[in-house]
Each structure stands twice: as structure tokens, then as C-alpha cells.
Amino acid sequence: MTVTAAQVKELRDKSGAGMMDAKKALVENNGDMEAAMDWLRTKGIAKAAKKASRVAAEGKVLATSNGTAGAMVEVNSETDFAAKNEKFQEFADTMLNLVLESGESNVDTLLGMTYPNSDITVKDKQTELVATIGENISLRRAAYASNESGTVGAYVHMGGKIGVLTTISGATAQDEVAKQIAMHVAASAPQFLTRDDINPDVLAREKAIYEEQAAASGKPENVVQKIVDGRMNKFAEEICLVDQAFVMDTDRKVGQVVSEAASGASLSAFTRFALGEGIEKKEEDFAAEVAAAVNG
């Protein structure tokens, strides 16, 4: 029988199933919504809706570059075990390539795009994956960088725990330097590219703290000011990428390493993803968890 788009949408909203699964369920059950819902539950597809609300802070960060463009994604799962699943890895790889090829980094837009080599959306594919693997799986975030007259470097650390993209402007084919800077970013976790990028409120707060500390020393005003200036300079060096000491050669600053690599080269951008950062992980009572599993 023929089912309407409105029926498919209603079943999708109720079950969390993908579009094609919802449509098939309705066709198989002659448009009966309750019967279609039971059909999805029998197939294990409707369970995806419940799983989608569970905390997913494990997974994998992937990053890649073709020289002048780079992409990075974080795909989450509930457990590290699920992240090793072949279907999970296939989905993550596909998302990475989709970002690189499309230049799109907005997650909502990506979820609405057609999943490569299929007639369903990325969101539908993600829902199918939840049902298949049995855990909440989600494309959490993505990044894209491009510079036709420069170089984009990519690096993944600890098997997908940290990912970095770096962009060098003004010089092409600086792949090795761009990757080395990405490795530095993975290790040092800078907060800003340059001092100009630091929020003025952050600077004002730090300066007030240093001024109070220096004033308490009882030293003359001109000495106090030098102490404050020195501490503010050190603060900037610690959090700004171009001012950090390069991890592979601590006698040079990161900005210096890039400028010395090629005439006109400068570091113009970086993005760093750490797996699960910012996700509030639920603390479980292990005994209660086991009891719930046994009784459920």
C-alpha cells in the first residue's frame, strides 16, 4: 500500500527509526501505526530512540589533509568497545571524507545530507547504527580548513583521542611543518593563536591578580609594574600558540619555526578536538548497574 510522508514522519518521531525503516514498517503493516511500531521494536530499530538520550563520551576523533584542505570529525559512542566496531569505523571514515569533499562542518547540515552511496540521510544512517551496535552513536562535531595558497596539516594522537588541524598561510607544500605544528598543538593544547585573540576580560582578570600579588610584596611601584608585565608576558606565552616554545625545539617559538620554514609563511589557524571534552559523564553506581542489567 501507499503511505504518506506525514505517516512516515510521525513514526520516525515516535520510534527514532530511520526514514526508510519507518516507511517499510508502515508498508509491511498496511499503515497501522501501532503495528508498525511493534514491527520496529521486534527488529530492534525502535530501541535507537532510547539509546539516543544516553551519554556518549567515548568514540574517536579523525583528521585528514590533502595538502591545501583538511577535515576533522568527532564521532561518539558510549564505550570504547563500540568505537572499535567495524560499522562504527566505517561511519566515522565516511563522515570524515564527506566533510573534506563538501567543505561543510555544520553538524545539523551534515546530518541532513545524503549518506554517500545510499538514498538515506546521514541522520538516518546514524540511527541505523544506533540500532545495529546497541549504543548511542553521534556525529558530535566537525571542522574544515582550506587554503589554496597555503598548507593545511592534520594529526591524530593516541589512536583517536586527540585531533588537530593547522593552517599555514603564504607558503604551499609545507606538509611536514604543518604536521609538526599539529603535533605540538596536540601536546600543548594552546587556547589562542596570538595575543590579539585573547579575550580582553581574561587579560584584565589575570592582570588584576598579578597586580594584587605584586603590590603585596611591598616593592616600589616601578618594580611592581615590571613584575606584572613579566607575568603577563609569561601568561601569554603559555596559552598562545605562536608564542609557545616548540616542543621539538624549545629554543624556538612556534611562530618562529613556521616563518623560518619558508619565505612569507605564517601560522593562520588551528583547531584541536579532544575526545569527549565538555561532555558531562554520568557517574554510575556499579552495583546498581549490575542489578539493573540482571533484572532488566
pLDDT at 46 over 60: no
Percent of the chain, pLDDT > 90? Answer: 68
With vertex at residue 32, the alpha carbon angle to CA 29 and CA 37, rounded to the nearest 5 degrees, is: 80
pLDDT at 219 over 80: yes
Which residues on adjacent β-strands are paired with residue 157?
A: 162
* Mean residue pLDDT across the chain: 90
When pLDDT is cut at 50, 70 and 90, the band that residue 2 belongs to is confident
| 179 sits in which H/E element | helix 175-188
Q: What is the pLDDT of residues 172-198, one digit of tens each?
A: 999 999 999 999 999 999 999 999 999
Q: What is the pLDDT of residues 130-139, one digit of tens each?
A: 888 888 999 9
Residue by residue, DSSP assigns 11-68 as HHHHH---HHHHHHHHHHTTT-HHHHHHHHHHHT-THHHHHTTS---EEEEEEEE-SS
99 close to 116: Cβ distance less than 8 angstroms: no
> Regarding predicted confidence, which is higher, 183 or 30?
183
The one-letter amino acid at 264: G
Give the C-alpha separation, 110 to 93, whole Å: 14
pTM for the full predicted model: 0.77
Domains of the chain: 5-51 (1.10.8.10), 55-146 (3.30.479.20), 199-239 (1.10.286)
Range 146-163 average pLDDT: 97
With vertex at residue 38, the alpha carbon angle to CA 34 and CA 44, rounded to the nearest 5 degrees, is: 145
